[in-house]
Amino acid sequence: MLTHMREEKLSFPALIPKVWVVDCQFVGAGDKALIYLGRYMYRGVIREKDILSCHDGKVTYRYQDSKTKRYQTKTVSGADFFMAGITTCFA
């Protein structure tokens, strides 16, 4: 994640730790985790009810096109969905 943030030339919080300790545990396919994280990361951008599906590592969501005011759907990888949320949080 940090590498991607550097590649995108995103700024880091001033107090970011030099060493991270991560405790990862397998919890299944991750569909529920994506929805849970999406609830916080896309607050004001994508509502939870607009996340339509999480299957095979892909997230499908709907959004309202700002020009046409019509709803559109988009499917992206879970990683891209997550990174877009991170970018939104730090923007």
The answer to whether position 62 is within a domain reads yes
Q: With b meaning 16 or more CB within 10 Å and e meaning fewer, what string describes 10-49?
A: eeeeeeeeeeeeeeeeeeeeeeeebeebbeebbeeebeee
Range of the domain at 89: 1-6+46-91
How many Å apart are CA 35 and CA 51, to the nearest integer? Answer: 7
pLDDT at 88: 45
pLDDT at 9: 83
The answer to whether position 31 is within a domain reads no
The answer to whether position 32 is within a domain reads no
> Contact at 8 Å (CB) between 59 and 68?
no
pLDDT bin (cut points 50, 70, 90) of residue 70 is very high
pTM of the model: 0.48
pLDDT at 79: 78
Q: What is the residue type of 26?
A: F
The answer to whether position 87 is within a domain reads yes
The answer to whether position 88 is within a domain reads yes
Q: How many domains does the chain have?
A: 1
